[in-house]
Amino acid sequence: MTLATLSTSIAQEEALTFIEMAIAQSQADGIFVSLSASETALSRFSENQISQNVRKNTFSLTVTSYFGKRSASASTTELDREAIAQTVKRSEELAKIAPVDPEWVELLPQQTYSDRTPAFDEATASLSPLKKGEIIQQVCSLSKAAGVNGSGTLSFKVALNAIGNSAGLRGCDRTTEADFSFTARVDNGSSWNRCTAWSIDHLPITEMTQKVIDRAIASRNPQTIAPGDYTVIFEPAAFASLLPWVIWNLDARAADEGRSFMSRNDDSGHPIGNKVGEQLFNPIVRVRRSAAHPLLQGGRFFGSGLSNNELDIIKDGIPKTLSYSRYWAKERGKEPTGAMYPIVMTGSDKTVADLIASTERGILVSRAWYVRYVNPRTLEVTGMTRDGTFLIENGKISHPIKNLRFNQCLPEMLNNVVALSQAKRCGGSVVPGCKVEKFRFSSITDSI
């Protein structure tokens, strides 16, 4: 019997050959080509047994052709020369009849990317279904032994991204990612957590599973407390659902046009600039864009071709820059930044347990769920706690409490951060646990 493994079907050299092939066939004034290829394997489990196995191989080559300030794109999922030629031709035909783009910018010239190599783990890329099943079997066994209902996912991804244009731009990266999510439920108690890494060997699956099981058991029979303003200890996974909302809203155009919490307006409400350089948050808040972080080691460029280099976003509580698209950077005489991710927030050497021990009375939040806008202009959001919420009294977890809905202005939250724990990777970000004062809970919810 031969066991199937997971491996990238397109090599980096081959990907760049497809890029060159498309560019060589172009009759347009300019052409931009992007290629993405990935293989993913995902297993779901519920009621302490595997319920689904999915494996998918995807490929897409997208061609954007330019005639003056007109452009259009076409894509193909086929690899042969004829399919690529037809895709180039189709994009050119569409570009000729497309409307003039009022925000047109010239093709990005050749870029110099970091000489580092993004993380690619062969053990993760070649992980067999048998090995994956053994890992899930161990998780389910722990759940059964503890008398809880365990469910979740275990997935692996191998990705390759390549770009090129007729102005000399070229780039190609490949990466791996492993992801484990686990929920434990028992009676009316529940707990959840997730871990992500570029290598399967870096996932603390057994340790996390046991912690989630213990917290689910401890969360049974929650008591009711009154909504209001509380000191809150956020687990890293919970804070990772809130911090990105702030970073996503550090958009230069929205700020300059008066549509952002970063906007500066005159007395009549007319936008007169932005708040870059102002002390908006607690000085311990420091956030960078850092694809090279040891826990991430991601790609070196964005889909647009801009470099995903190191960038200070918030330093000592002061926003240092905003996200500038190429068009808005040109309008404002700035350098384009690319997107503000991956997010890396600096933590400390403390643990979440240390933050709890320093709290006389507060709430421990394991998960922030279903976060949505209330007011995009002020960045007030609403959401709910979930999967284990606890009252803290005299530096210790006192008892579980019923879940609460929050309505919170996130810039105020970052101003009210008073302590941080060690930073961990949560999805595609690296964030610490946080102690936040005066966090506003508006009502009790019936969610578990």
- 59 CB neighbour count, 10 Å cutoff: 18
Check whether residue 170 and residue 198 sit in a common domain. yes
Of 345, 368, 387, the one marking the end of a domain is: 345
Of 345, 361, 382, the one marking the end of a domain is: 345
Q: Is residue 251 assigned to a domain?
A: no
Question: pLDDT digit string (tens) for 101-123?
Answer: 999 999 999 999 999 999 999 99
- Domain range for 356: 221-243+347-444
> Residue 3 pLDDT > 50, yes or no?
no
pTM of the model: 0.94
Q: Are 305 and 315 in contact (CB under 8 A)?
A: no
Check whether residue 238 and residue 167 sit in a common domain. no
Check whether residue 369 and residue 227 sit in a common domain. yes
Q: Please name the amino acid found at residue 176.
A: T
Check whether residue 330 and residue 371 sit in a common domain. no
Is residue 9 very low, low, confident or very high in pLDDT (cuts 50, 70, 90)? low
Output the six-digit token pair for 289: 């864009």
**Mean pLDDT along residues 265-278:** 90
> Residue 447 pLDDT > 90, yes or no?
no
Question: pLDDT digit string (tens) for 151-187?
Answer: 999 999 999 999 999 999 999 999 999 999 999 999 9
**How confident is the model at residue 5, as a pLDDT?**
40
433: helix, strand or coil: strand
Q: Is residue 216 assigned to a domain?
A: no
Percent of all residues in the chain with a pLDDT value above 90, rounded to a whole number:
94
> Residue 271 pLDDT > 90, yes or no?
no
> Residue 254 pLDDT > 70, yes or no?
yes
Check whether residue 238 and residue 115 sit in a common domain. no
CA distance 429 to 224: 33
Check whether residue 299 and residue 408 sit in a common domain. no
Check whether residue 172 and residue 161 sit in a common domain. yes
> Residue 58 pLDDT > 70, yes or no?
yes
Check whether residue 122 and residue 153 sit in a common domain. yes
**How confident is the model at residue 294, as a pLDDT?**
98
Q: Is residue 388 assigned to a domain?
A: yes
**Mean pLDDT along residues 193-205:** 97
Is residue 8 very low, low, confident or very high in pLDDT (cuts 50, 70, 90)? very low
Question: pLDDT digit string (tens) for 407-431?
Answer: 999 999 999 999 999 999 999 999 9
Of 300, 329, 345, the one marking the end of a domain is: 345
β-partners of residue 59 are 37
**Mean pLDDT along residues 212-241:** 98
Q: Is residue 253 assigned to a domain?
A: no
8-12, 25-29, 318-322, 343-347: least confident range: 8-12
Helix (H) or strand (E) holding 123: helix 122-125
Check whether residue 354 and residue 440 sit in a common domain. yes
Q: CB under 8 Å to 374, separation ≥6 — which residues?
A: 380, 381, 382, 407
Check whether residue 231 and residue 97 sit in a common domain. no
The burial of 283, by beta-carbon neighbours within 10 Å (0-12 exposed, 13-18 middle, 19 or more buried), is given as exposed
Check whether residue 186 and residue 230 sit in a common domain. no
Q: Is residue 378 assigned to a domain?
A: yes
Check whether residue 228 and residue 198 sit in a common domain. no
In this structure, what CATH number is given to the domain that contains residue 153?
Answer: 3.30.2290.10
Q: CB under 8 Å to 129, separation ≥6 — which residues?
A: 3, 4, 41, 53
**How confident is the model at residue 10, as a pLDDT?**
87
Q: Is residue 7 assigned to a domain?
A: no
> Domains in the chain: how many in total?
3
Q: Is residue 385 assigned to a domain?
A: yes
**How confident is the model at residue 406, as a pLDDT?**
98
Mean of pLDDT over the chain: 96
Q: Is residue 70 assigned to a domain?
A: yes
> Residue 7 pLDDT > 50, yes or no?
no
**How confident is the model at residue 20, as a pLDDT?**
97
Rounded to 10 deg, the angle between the 12-24 and 81-97 helix axes is: 50
